[in-house]
């Protein structure tokens, strides 16, 4: 049985708390490793190391910091296959999905290479008589991130890359369900030239999270996970005087207008709803066809596509559409919500409850499910399922469809499929959701824009990556400078006071 470690001061360090969590192979259901769960003392030790390292790192000019990230990108590309396989082994997603996980993180690192430009301040010459004013962006100090299981490469890089580029040290508390890739990323950053102690990986559960929230040296916290935990971290972190950004749950609607290309819409729904077994905060989990005829045509297109989906372990190669969910508890929750949908009167058009994979009967596989005639009062509509389950809510007209998405408590992402530009423009302008796709099912912005939802999907006023990340991980300092004027006499300045 492999025993994983923390990564502190450039070295793998065994856990000292005596507490461990099991790391499963989701395809087989077997425990493949144990990960240590840090206590407050271990977290404090890592913070002390980070604080010592941060001073010198902040004094390193931005261009040299950027060169470390350049080298890091090269190493990520070199080890892409190795990282993807390690990720798949613990998370369960297919290798192509895992490579996408790494790639979307890598793109944010590439953006952060522009730190010398992004950290420039402003300057005003002669703001007053003999007075100049200028601003500078300075690092916060020690920062921290608490990241989820579903993107164990991408989201850590979304956090630590801009934090490090800005001159901060960073404490990463990854998910205890799939901790190996974050440890590998820390190794690669040190190989790229990052000084020891600037990035620390400390594994743990709630005790470690609370230690981060309460430690007086940690200046900021980033979090991605469920809304209840996001609210908890945001409230407690802010009360401790920290800068906090927390991203919570989602229930993403895709509206299908009568004029939409139905084959395109069906293909988009299958990819966005069932890819990565639905374990994505930007997954489409609610299809909203407008009009009965549109709904009937959509269901007719969806059913054969969903029934052809291939579910299997990542070791099956590229011939698999999605793999298992991350734990037995996740599988149980998903199937429980499916049963609630049946009990509450939704029509289960595609039933994956009896799915079993020969040779992997103990794995955490969940078959694909499609519901029709879902109503907004049902649990499968109100709750984030985080599994391969698509709910269809029929709307009689565009306004009803729009209202469904706008009234839901979550506001992470949404999409509309239509050929009509006026409808698409109206939707983009009126919808109260943070990320909008027009004939794009998963509208995740590229690295040079920002990622973030609205409503109960986010807590905090700055988004992830893009320009917002550099604002989040720095403070602005403004300097007003005044120098007395003088007249050179005999090779010396005789300074005279200014009026």
> Which residues are CB-contacts of 104 (< 8 A; sequence separation ≥ 6)?
151, 154, 444, 447
Q: What is the pLDDT of residue 495?
A: 54
Range 252-438 classified under CATH 3.90.550.10: no
Place of tokens 């080890």: 79
Q: What span, in angstroms and rounded, lies between the C-alpha atoms of 230 and 223?
A: 7
Q: How far apart are CA 211 and CA 450, in angstroms?
A: 29
What local confidence, expressed as pLDDT, does residue 276 receive? 95
CB 277 within 8 A of CB 388: yes
Instruction: Read off the pLDDT of residues 205-226 as tens digits, 9 standing for 90 and up.
Output: 999 999 999 999 999 999 999 9
User: Which one, of 152, 185, 161, lies nearest residue 108 by Cα?
Assistant: 161
* Of 207, 233, 235, residue with least CA distance to 18: 207
For the chain, what percentages of helix, strand and coil (3-state, to nearest 5) are there?
Answer: 40, 25, 35
Q: How far apart are CA 196 and CA 384, in angstroms?
A: 39
> Alpha-carbon distance 274 to 387, whole Å?
8
- How many CB atoms neighbour CB 433 within 10 A? 24
Say what the pLDDT of residue 492 is: 59
Residue 455 CB-density burial (10 A; 0-12 exposed, 13-18 middle, 19+ buried): middle
Token pair of 89 as six digits:
């082994």
**Dihedral sign for Cα atoms in the order 10, 98, 81, 79:** negative
DSSP-derived letter for residue 395 is: B
CA-CA distance, 132 to 116, in Å (whole number)? 22
Contact by Cβ (8 Å): 286, 254: yes
| Closest CA relative to residue 352, chosen from 307, 321, 396, 322 | 307
Close Cβ partners of 397 (under 8 Å, ≥ 6 residues apart): 290, 291
Beta pairing partners, 458: 247
Domain definitions of the chain by residue range: 2-248+457-479, 252-438
Phi-psi region of 65 (alpha: psi -120 to 50; beta: other; left: phi over 0): alpha
Q: Which two tokens stand for residue 259?
A: 């004029």
Catalytic residue selected from 112, 166, 246, 281 = 281
**CA pair distance 421, 424, nearest whole angstrom:** 5
Under 8 Å CB-to-CB from 308, ≥6 apart: which residues? none
How far is residue 55 CA from its own chain's centroid?
28
Q: Which fold has domain 2-248+457-479?
A: Aldehyde Dehydrogenase; Chain A, domain 1 (3.40.605)
Q: Measured between alpha carbons, how far is 401 from 289 in angstroms, rounded to an integer?
A: 8
The reported pLDDT for the residue numbered 45 is 98
281 is catalytic: yes
Can you read off the two tokens belonging to residue 154?
Answer: 């991408």
Show the low-confidence residues of the chain (pLDDT under 50).
Answer: 498-499
> Which tens digits make up the pLDDT trace of 367-384?
999 999 999 999 999 999
H or E element at residue 48: helix 40-59
């Amino acid at each position: 049985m492999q025993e994983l470690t923390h990564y502190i001061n450039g070295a793998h360090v065994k856990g000292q708390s005596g507490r461990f969590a099991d790391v499963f192979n989701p395809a087989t259901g077997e425990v493949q490793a144990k990960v240590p769960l840090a206590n407050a003392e271990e977290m404090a030790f890592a913070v002390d190391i980070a604080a010592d390292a941060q001073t010198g790192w902040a004094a390193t000019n931005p261009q040299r910091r950027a060169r470390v990230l350049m080298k890091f990108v090269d190493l990520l590309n070199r080890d892409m296959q190795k990282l993807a396989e390690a990720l798949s082994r613990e998370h369960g997603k297919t290798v192509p999905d895992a490579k996408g996980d790494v790639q979307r993180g890598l793109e944010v690192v590439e953006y952060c290479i522009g730190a010398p430009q992004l950290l420039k301040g402003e300057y005003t010459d002669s703001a007053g008589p003999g007075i100049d004013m200028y601003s500078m962006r300075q690092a916060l100090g020690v920062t921290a991130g608490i990241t989820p299981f579903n993107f164990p490469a991408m989201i850590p890089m979304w956090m630590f890359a801009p934090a490090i580029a800005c001159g901060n040290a960073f404490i990463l508390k990854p998910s205890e369900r799939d901790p190996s890739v974050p440890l590998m990323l820390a190794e690669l950053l040190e190989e790229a030239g990052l000084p020891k102690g600037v990035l620390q990986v400390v594994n743990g559960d709630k005790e470690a999270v609370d230690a981060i929230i309460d430690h007086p040296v940690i200046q900021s916290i980033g979090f991605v996970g469920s809304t209840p935990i996001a609210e908890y971290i945001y409230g407690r972190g802010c009360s401790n005087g920290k800068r906090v950004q927390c991203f919570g749950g989602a229930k993403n609607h895709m509206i299908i207008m009568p004029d939409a290309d139905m084959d395109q819409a069906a293909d988009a729904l299958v990819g966005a709803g069932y890819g990565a077994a639905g374990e994505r905060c930007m997954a489409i989990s609610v299809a909203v066809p407008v009009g009965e005829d549109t709904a009937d045509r959509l269901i007719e297109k969806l059913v054969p596509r969903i029934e052809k989906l291939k579910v299997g372990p990542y070791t099956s190669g590229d011939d698999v559409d999605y793999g298992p969910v991350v734990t037995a508890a996740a599988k149980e929750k998903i199937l429980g919500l499916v049963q609630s949908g049946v009990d509450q009167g939704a029509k289960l058009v595609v039933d994956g409850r009896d799915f079993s994979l020969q040779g992997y009967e103990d794995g955490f596989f969940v078959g694909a499910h499609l519901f029709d005639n879902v109503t907004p009062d049902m649990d499968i509509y109100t709750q984030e399922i985080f599994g391969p389950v698509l709910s269809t809510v029929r709307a009689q007209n565009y306004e009803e469809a729009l209202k469904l998405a706008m009234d839901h408590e979550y506001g992470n992402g949404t999409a509309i499929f239509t050929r009509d530009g006026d409808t698409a423009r109206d939707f983009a302008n009126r919808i109260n959701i943070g990320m909008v796709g027009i004939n794009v099912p998963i509208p995740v912005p590229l690295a040079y824009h920002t990622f973030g939802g609205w409503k109960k999907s986010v807590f905090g006023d700055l988004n992830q990556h893009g320009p917002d990340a550099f604002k989040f991980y720095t403070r602005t300092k403004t300097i007003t400078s005044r120098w007395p004027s003088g007249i050179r006499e005999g090779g010396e300045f005789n300074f005279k006071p200014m009026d």
